[in-house]
Each structure stands twice: as structure tokens, then as C-alpha cells.
Amino acid sequence: MRSISIFGATGSIGQNTVDLIARDRSRYRVVAVTGGANIARLAQDAIRLNAEIAVTAHADRFEDLRAALSGSGVAVAAGEAALIEAADRPVDWVMSAIVGAAGLAPGFRALRHGGTLALANKESLVTAGPLLLAEARAHGATILPVDSEHSAVFQALAGEDIAAVERIIITASGGGLRDWPVEALARATVADAGAHPNWAMGQRITIDSASMFNKGMELIETREFFGVPPSRIETVIHPQSIIHALVGFNDGALMAHLGAPDMRHAIGYALNWPERRDLPVARLDLAQIATLEFRAPDPRRYPALRIAREVMETRGGAGAVFNAAKEIALDGFVAGRIGFMDMATVVDRTLDAMASQICLTSSMANLEEVLMTDHMARKTAWTQIAKMES
């Protein structure tokens, strides 16, 4: 029986993970499940999975969680320190699906036990990729990608020599605004940008998909995870979202990974690796799909891709600044303080302003430095938004 913990169990990735575990209950011993504000869902899943402990990140919600789990036999804890303590419980497999920088510390801590970290929290690789990989190496832990594109690359690389890889192509749907005239994008509302053509996801990641800040994060993630130079990493718009990524080899072969847009594929692959087991995902009917289209992303429409490339070249602290600035820019857009295309301007200006304060090219020494850079970048990004408003 495998022991597992799910960090961010109440979110979109977390719920897909819970679904897979619940279908095959007898194979797993669930140690910790964690969530944030959604106490009812956390309690319900802790009981459903017979977890040893349920943890909410919000210290002030301890009593609510305790009441919800009263008589269930599930232990209860709350607060950031409790999340770290939960990550200290050794297990074979951990899902890292907390959203944002809050996911970094529990993921780092879980690596100490040398098991497998299924990494959905892309912010960990973007902000602290080299540190995270070094921590995994130091403890003999395995990190498996959960982002569908990176899972696809990982699968295409199975049994291959990375030295024979000429290029990695990750696909992008192009988001909800991909067919809008470029000139109209500045007027896009939160509702316009928050509708995804293919994937059912939360509002924030859907808007990040329309701006391609999400794809920018994934380019950086690809660079950090697979150790391939930026010049060998490409993205192409593929409106059907059937091919998730392609790997090109030095003999001209291009290996594509195809699958229905369902995150349970990538989650299930990471859960069952190195085996493959049945997954409850739709099988593709290629004759019905009939056509797969591709087009190059227009740099005027997606400035986030240019910025991400600059960050991939700079490395050091630039990833932490990029991630923090794009989150604040998104907050500014959702709050109606800046327009859709202004998000890229905020990120550009934050990177410039931060480069004049700290050396962005130096490697991050530790997690504390990453979190400090993240904090400074958030303040700087808000300052840029305020300047744009005045």
C-alpha cells in the first residue's frame, strides 16, 4: 500500500487527485490532506479518503475544521507551520497543488523524505527551480511534472537521451481571446479573458492563459525541469489542445503526446509512474477530431512570451520577480485598475525596477531569499500599477 499526501486537495488539481485516489482506495494510505478556505470540502475529502490529518492553511479556521471533523478520527491542524509539519510526515508520494508561492515551502520540505513529489505548483520551478532540483538530488527524491505539457514532454523523453533533443515544443490553446483583433485586446474585460475554449480551470489561470503568462511560466518551467537551453524551447498555438507537447530529436523525429484535455491524465501518470494503469479519461477519436491546427503566436498579442524568454536567459532572481509581478498585474486587472494589455507593462516595469535594486542574475541562495525577492517584487509591482493609474 502506498502512502500519500495531497497539498492543495480542495483546489482543481487537488480534486482531480482526490477523484483518482478515491476510485482506487485500497491501494493507498492517505496521510495528510490540506486546503485553505474551503473547510467543508477539506473535511469531506479527509473523511472520504480516511486521512490521518487534515490541515487548513488558515490558522483562524482551526475551530471550524475541528467542528467539521468532530468524531471522524481525523486529526486536525491549522496555519502555515502546520502545513510544514504535515510535509514532515514521510510518505511515498506527495501531490504539490497549493497555488502560488505558498506552495514552495511544503514542497521543499516534502523532498527531505526522498519520496516522489508530483509537482503541479509551477511557481516552485519558476521561482526556485535550481534550488528545488538540488534539494531533490540531495535527498534522493524524484520530482514528476503534473502540468500537462511537461508530463507530455516527460513521457516523450522516456528511454531517450536528453543530449539527442534538438527542441521541445509546448503547445498553447491561445486562450479565450486568441481570435480577437490585436487592437481590441486593450478593451478586454475580466469576463472576456476568463472564458477558456478547451480547459475547465479557475478564473486566474484562465486569464493567464488568455495573456499567455501561463505559457510564459511553462516555458521557464521547461527550461528548469529538463535543463534545455531557451533557444531549444518553442511554443506553438494549437487551438484544439489535443497535442500537449512535442519533442524533436537530432534525427529529425518529432514525438508528439496526444490526449483529451483532462488533468487526470497527467496526475494519474505521475501517480502510477513508472507503471501505466487504467485512467478514467476519454479516449480520442481521431477521425472525429479530423483536423489539428497550428499557428505561430503573434508577439504583439502575447508580450508575455517575450518577457518569459528574457527571464529564461537571466535566471537567478528573475523567475521570482516574473511570477510575483504577473500575479499582482493579474490582481490589478481583476480589480479593474489596469487593462488586459497593461499586465505585461506592469511585469516589464517591475523587472526593470527590481534590476536596479538587486542583482537579478545571481543565483538564489536559499528559499528565504526567493521569498524575500517575491515580497519585494509584489510591492514594486503595486507601485508600478499606482504610477500607471496616476
Q: How near is the Cβ of 13 to ligand NDP at its closest, in Å?
A: 4
Nearer to ligand NDP, 238 or 349 (CB): 238
Residues in CB range of 10: below 8 A, 6 or more apart:
35, 36, 38, 41, 42, 45
Q: How far is the CB of 14 from ligand NDP (least distance, A)?
A: 5
3 state DSSP class of 381: helix
By beta-carbon proximity to ligand NDP, the closer residue of 201 and 271 is 201
Return the number of the residue (41 or 301) whose C-beta is nearest ligand NDP. 41
Residue 213: burial class (beta carbons within 10 Å; 0-12, 13-18, 19+): buried
Closest CB 356 distance from ligand NDP, rounded Å: 29
Q: Considering beta carbons, is residue 353 or 377 the nearer one to ligand NDP? A: 377
- Residue closest to ligand NDP, measured at CB: 11
Q: Of the candidates 259, 282, 234, 8, which has an alpha carbon nearest to the alpha carbon of residue 120?
A: 8
Cβ-based nearer residue to ligand NDP, 39 or 344 = 39
Measured from the CB atom, the residue of 38 and 314 that comes closer to ligand NDP is: 38
Nearer to ligand NDP, 305 or 353 (CB): 305
- Closest CB 367 distance from ligand NDP, rounded Å: 15
Among candidates 314, 386, 323, 384, which has minimal Cα distance to 355?
Answer: 314
Give the strand pairing for 2-7 and 28-35: parallel
SS3 30: strand
Task: Report, in Å, the least distance between residue 146 CB and ligand NDP.
Answer: 6
Rg of the chain (C-alpha set): 21
Q: What does the binding site for ligand NDP look like in residue numbers (CB under 6 A)?
A: 8-14, 35-38, 57, 97-99, 102, 120-123, 147, 201-202, 205, 263
> CA–CA separation, 220 vs 34, rounded Å?
27
CB of 123 to ligand NDP, least distance (A): 6
Looking up cell 494549437, which residue turns up?
A: 238
Q: In angstroms, give the least distance from the CB of 204 to ligand NDP.
A: 7
- In 3D space, the residue among 165, 67, 129, 61 whose CA is nearest the CA of residue 322 turns out to be 129
